[in-house]
């Protein structure tokens, strides 16, 4: 397979130049589904066909298309979580807190004087988010949360006032704690799928399963950030729908020694993956 992001030019190219289904396809051939694109007989990426141009004896087709999971998960974090704004309580608290966080990041990144004030009073510097990677936003919020918890309320108020930013209230600090608790599993999943070494296609389903399990366990403990969890779970379900039924993804995971069948939890997905595994064992 060829892995790309979700850009429309990639999706269109792999849709138009995919290997067409042969009339005498074997029942044992894999069938890979990516949206509305179906590709059969993935062993062959070059097929001889009859074309109008007599000079071309071979037509080169693109291999099966796999959309980059890290990019899809990044869209869950940035786009799908916008649904949390439908909850008025969450929207009111989150916008106020994150506006203060953004103000602090902007002040310290654009002014050396402000950065010196933070370093002098807190003996550290703030982490500024990077727009290209969503998990950098998590690390920036996590750093602020730790500073608010480690230092006294008066000291943090002095820092905010020196930077001309409204101080954080107690309920806002509690929200930041919940916000980071929810973001932590998602950030870890993104770090795993964006790894430059030791990241194989077999890591995908166990990583997504672990993410969903951790968020469901966390949901009952939250007072304000519950809609954030619901939005993430909904985004994962929508963007990765059908992935647990794809034979090549299941086999890639269960044949990795560190996963095998241990990552499967109870539920429909576990049943589907177990069924794929049993069919594979029967054939091999």
Reported confidence tier of residue 142, pLDDT bands at 50, 70, 90: very high
Average pLDDT over residues 7-11: 82
Helix (H) or strand (E) holding 32: strand 31-34
Burial zone of 57 (CB within 10 Å; 0-12 exposed, 13-18 middle, 19+ buried) = exposed
Residue 255: other Cβ atoms inside 10 A:
12
Residue in 265, 181, 270, 263 with CA at minimum distance from that of residue 220: 181
Over the stretch 10-61, which tens digit does the pLDDT of each residue have? 888 888 888 776 544 444 444 434 444 444 444 444 444 444 444 445 777 8
Residue in 110, 107, 109, 187 with CA at minimum distance from that of residue 141: 187
Q: Is the overall model pTM greater than 0.85, yes or no?
A: no
Residue in 181, 173, 190 with CA at minimum distance from that of residue 78: 190
Tokens 């054939």 correspond to what residue? 283
Report the C-alpha gap between 188 and 98 in whole angstroms: 21
Report the C-alpha gap between 1 and 13 in whole angstroms: 14
Report the C-alpha gap between 77 and 135 in whole angstroms: 9
Average pLDDT over residues 101-105: 93
pLDDT at 200: 82
pLDDT at 211: 93
Residue in 158, 162, 245 with CA at minimum distance from that of residue 205: 245
For 256-270, give the DSSP string. STTTTTTT--SSHHH
């Amino acid at each position: 397979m060829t892995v790309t992001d979700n850009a429309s030019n990639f999706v269109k190219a792999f849709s138009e130049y995919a290997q067409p289904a042969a009339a005498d396809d074997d029942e044992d051939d894999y069938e890979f589904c990516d949206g509305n694109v179906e590709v059969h007989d993935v062993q062959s990426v070059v097929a001889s066909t009859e074309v109008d141009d007599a000079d071309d004896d071979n037509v080169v087709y693109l291999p099966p298309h796999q959309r980059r999971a890290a990019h899809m998960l990044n869209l869950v974090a940035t786009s799908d979580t916008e649904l949390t704004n439908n909850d008025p309580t969450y929207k009111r608290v989150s916008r106020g807190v994150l506006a203060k966080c953004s103000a602090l990041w902007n002040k310290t990144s654009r002014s050396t004087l402000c950065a010196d004030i933070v370093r002098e009073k807190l003996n550290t510097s703030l982490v500024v988010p990077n727009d290209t990677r969503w998990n950098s936003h998590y690390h920036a919020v996590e750093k602020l949360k730790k500073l608010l918890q480690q230092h006294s309320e008066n000291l943090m108020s002095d820092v905010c006032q020196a930077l001309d930013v409204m101080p954080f209230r107690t309920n806002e600090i509690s929200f930041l704690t919940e916000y980071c608790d929810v973001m932590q599993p998602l950030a870890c999943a993104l770090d795993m799928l964006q790894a430059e070494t030791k990241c194989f296609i077999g890591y995908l389903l166990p990583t997504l399963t672990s993410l969903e399990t951790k968020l469901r366990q966390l949901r009952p403990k939250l007072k304000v950030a519950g809609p954030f969890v619901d939005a993430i779970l909904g985004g994962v379900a929508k963007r990765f729908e059908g992935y647990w039924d794809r034979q090549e993804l299941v086999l890639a995971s269960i044949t990795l020694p560190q996963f095998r069948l241990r990552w499967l939890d109870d539920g429909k997905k576990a049943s589907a993956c177990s069924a794929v595994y049993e069919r594979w064992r029967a054939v091999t």
